Amino acid sequence: MSLPAGFTAPTKDARPLHLVERDDYAQWRTRQPEGVHRWLDAHGFDASAGSVQVLPGADGGIAGAVVGIGDPLDPHGCAHAPFALPAGDWVLADTLDTPHLRALQLGWGLGAWRYTRFRDATRAPARLVVDPLDAETADLLAASLRVRDLVSTPTEQLGPAQLEEVVRGIAQQHGARFEAIVGDDLLAKNFPAIHAVGRASHRAPRLLALRWGEEKHPHLALVGKGVCFDTGGLDIKPADGMRNMKKDMGGAAHAIALAELIMARRLPVRLTLLVPAVENAIGPDAYRPGEVLRTRKGVTVEIDNTDAEGRVILCDALAYASEQKPDVLIDFATLTGAARIALGPDLPVLFANDDALADAWLGAGESERDPLWRLPLWRPYLRYLTSTVADLANAGPSKMAGSITAALFLERFVPAALP
């Protein structure tokens, strides 16, 4: 197996790398030669998180380096190192236990990543000697970088058809079953909401479905919002709001990569992955404010705002997923800017209708140093989605609680008994 960027097999030229927590720095320092003391003091090194200091050799070259880390179980604690250290090969000076080693390897691999499809890398990352790279960490890293690569790819190279090829390729690699329902076939097979959002684009909308695993295992359904570009539709976004909308398929990227990870680790689940993939474009056939759509579930939806399109395509996918009676249904979506305004870029929002599962996810996030933050499904806010001509509207006049109302909209398409 080839190693990801930032890693190498053992080499004789690798220089020692010391990872030091700030609280342990004084004790570590006492074990170093006097010349190292003076060098570190002269450079003001204190092992604070993110600090890096090379150590000189007798010949004036680089003899090693010391990196300050915060929480040793946080992969982000050393993610800066591959480009903060001089290029070359580095080997850990001290043995780490398995949890700390996994966190280091994952963080190193994340930090070594750069998106280089359209330009050469400005420099190579420093390479960490691994003997070997932990297999579980390698799979987790590959899935994480899959998300980054997909989200970073411009829409011209990653429209609905190209996203289909990604999922098809993953299915073939892992022996999964794959199906794509494309264009007007969406209407024939009762996915009208997906079709409505994507019909204005010359790149046909589609629903991608991957199925894997044995019937005897618990059934996990993953759904990911695949809006490959979002102009806002006829309710067009301003330029600064549209600039980064290639990332509006981030939910699909996450669901796809998670499915890939589950299959790579051969976890004992029966997996269904559903990705509604569209471009929300402007054109003569664009869906319009004021239209009423009859969704797959039969619920009628008045389009108040064409820029609230993610929930519209997801409602058909969620209804379809629910028909298959999974044990657990998880939906990933870049659903609202309101979520980012509320929690910023580091805390993903979690909505859940099952407290035990929510607590498990929150606990897993804490243990992995990748936290989530739960927001309530506050049902009185459904009043913001009322319609005089349909069962509900996809948005409303109020700008308050935007992420909560989006989640409440989606909840309408999932049975209450399905977690």
Nearest to 391 by CA among 328, 311, 326, 297: 297
Through-space distance between the first and last CA atoms of the chain, rounded to whole angstroms = 38
| Catalytic, out of 22, 29, 237, 340 | 237
Instruction: Give me the residue label for tokens 């411009």.
Output: 154
Give the separation between CA 281 and CA 202, rounded to whole angstroms. Answer: 9
Active site residue 38: no
Active site residue 311: yes
Q: Supply the residues annotated as catalytic.
A: 237, 311
